Chain A
Amino acid sequence: MEREFTAPRHGPLVRRCLVVVVAMFGFGFALVPAYRIFCEVTGFQGFIAADGSDRDRGGYVGAVDESRTVTVELVASVNGRAPWGFAPVERRLEVHPGALVTTRYRAVNETGEPRAWQASYNVAPGSAARYLGKPECFCFQRQEFEPGEARELPVTFIVNPDIPSHVKTVTLSYTLFDLEG
């Protein structure tokens, strides 16, 4: 039995391998939304749904639970040593679950040049993150400031009444990232 070595066709096998390669390259990118969903569902890393969308149970609209109050602490920090003043106008709020609350953060450009920043936020404890909805916030948006300008930026949030009763305090933290540096 003589086999001819000139004949084997590798095309189909190679194509199948290439499909694996392309699919796994895509898989790496698919991990990005997968990770975000994982974090939103579990509250891991303090993520909450970026826009208070329906998937986020924090985006609750309904009755206000007057029988209970939750303390919401507001925290601000500036990443690195960027020349920005950044602080919450109110440091702590007593809120009823279900009530829409608006508060403000104040930012000051401490330099003599026009400058911009962008902020991220985080919620602690992680197990409470999914119950904090933010219909409106300045996060992840470029904020342009004139030299020396000070401005207050509103944050609107709502604590979902489903929040477990052992959670008495929720911390909402914003971090300012300088965009010039």
Chain B
Amino acid sequence: MSSVATHPDHGAHAAAKPRGFLRRWVLTTSHKDIGTLYLLFSLAMFFIGGAMAMVIRAELFQPGMDFVDPYFFNQMTTVHGLVMVFGAVMPAFVGLANWMVPLQIGAPDMALPRMNNWSFWLLPAAFSMMLVTFFLPGGAPAAGWTMYPPLVLQTGMAFPFLIFAVHIAGISSIMGAINIIATILNLRAPGMGLLKMPLFVWTWLVTAFLLIAVIPVLAGAITMLLTDQYFGTSFFSAAGGGDPVLYQHIFWFFGHPEVYILILPAFGIVSTILPAFARKPLFGYTSMVYAVASIAFLSFIVWGHHMFTVGMPTAGTLFFMFATMLIAVPTGVKVFNWLATLWRGALTFETPMLFALAFVVLFTIGGLSGIMLAIAPVDFQYHDTYFVVAHFHYVLVSGSIFAIMAAVYFWLPKWTGVMYSERLGKLHFWTSVVAMNLVFFPQHFLGLAGMPRRIADYPVEFMEWNMVSSVGAFAYGAAQLIFVWTVIQCMRGRGKPAPAKPWEGAEGLEWTVPSPAPHHTFHEPPKVV
């Protein structure tokens, strides 16, 4: 299975990289190159999905704007969601796992390098398919990223493209997850027991199990959509005895674990970065591991909180409400452990630390608005308003994406061999954090006042906060250009050379290899003490 077996004499050309674009990048089986590809792909998708967000915020700048056609606005919200979830955040985490999991556990590569190549290259295929729908008659999917029937079945020519794109992206995720599981369980350096693994590795192991458990459920749901549309089945069609509400149950059975797929690796990143810049070991390592595992378990039994207003028996409402609120317990354990890690630490505030600290504060705000939404009677007021939009952007932008940014700044010296510009990094952080709050904090107010989401226009009384939100969005978008420039400079080798361990307080095997990490690492397994 392992392609490493075909290179018994790797020592002779340990430093050599394959030559030529095709062999270096297209046919690569190196976890580092594939990690880079994933991260660059994710960055491209972040900007494509971000451009759609700019269109959305431009349309919502004032009531009655008519900047774009309302139907096109619906395409923007739909594809923005799909691209950001499946194209930007998930591949970014897989890219980080590719780069860092083998380095953190002392493995020479991923367990299944050729499958790794495959799982990456499926992604450009999937998203070309999804984005090409903008040029089809009838345009892109516009029924929301959740693809609820019967509305989604009214999607024109884009419908099969949408389904197959999600299928292919899902297959890619499943293959990536299996690879990560095999790497972590089979390739740890001698002496690295499960409870010695860095938390990023732990969170990814749990995430990978979530992926193989719920992506197939999503695949089943959209397959049923496909057969309802083309093969005369009636899974969700009331005319044939089906029920569209069933789709929502299946979708959210996938959907709630999916939100933890989008946040657990972020927990791992923050648990790595806070101790490094507090110069203290992580407080409560074991409880962190158990908290992640219990969050993952609970995520399977709370999906109904997305459907309170759809209607369900009172017992069901109560069950889903209390089960959801229970998740606050392990999540609270994590937040308090992070705070305890910082307590009396010798803190310094380099860019990764700033993003990680902002994560702790802002993710917690998103978590608290989540608890508000979990309260069923309250949810009847908040459901489908901008309050929900504010909630999930606090956990996804200032949660997942801030953690990804933190990780990139933290490990960029290891990847490129040069230090990024701390001045630009800090500028990126401060503009991002201010802009992000300008975009999303006012959306809480709009939602509480009753502004519904997914609609291209609104009554005049919502104007002021929408303007603030839109201005914040444009600023946030512009701030990300600083990030791109900073990364490009590092990729071109512009900057101070980075030592093997650029962060004084950082721990872990990845800092024992030189910067930039050589093409082959850990062919001799390291000793773990």
Contacts and interface: CB of A to CB of B under 8 A. Distances in A.
B112 A10 contact: yes
* Chain B interface category by residue count: 35 or more
B150 to A, nearest CB: 10
Interface stretch (A15-23, A100-108, A149-157): A15-23
A35 B216 contact: no
A8 B186 contact: yes
A25 B5 contact: no
A17 B1 CA distance: 16
Given A14-B112, A20-B212, A9 B217 contact: no
B217 A13 contact: no
Contact of B245 (A11, A25, A45): A45
B220 interface: yes
Given A3-B525, A14-B178, A17-B181, A9 B1 contact: yes
A61 interface: no
A8 B241 contact: no
Contacts of B1: 9-11, 14
B193 interface: no
A147 to B, nearest CB: 22
Count chain B CB atoms within 10 A of each CB in A1, A31, A79 and give the residue with the most: A31
Interface string B1-27: 110110010000000000000000000
B190 A3 contact: yes
Contacts of A9: 1
Contact of B238 (A14, A18, A24, A120): A120
A131 B525 CA distance: 69
Contacts of A25: 216-217, 219-220
Interface of B is mostly: helix
Interface in B183-203: 185-187, 189-190
A97 B298 CA distance: 45
B214 interface: yes
Contacts of A175: 238-239
Interface in A95-145: 118-120, 139-140
Contacts of B234: 140
Contacts of A35: 243, 246, 249
B185 A24 contact: no
A39 B189 CA distance: 52
A107 B220 CA distance: 37
B221 interface: yes
Interface string B95-131: 0000000000001100110000000000000000000
B249 A31 contact: yes
Contacts of B107: 5
A6 B5 contact: yes
B111 A10 contact: yes
A6 B4 contact: yes
B176 to A, nearest CB: 12
B2 A8 contact: yes
Contacts of A20: 212-213
Nearest to A11: B1
B240 A6 contact: no
Interface string B486-529: 00000000000000000000000000000000000001110000
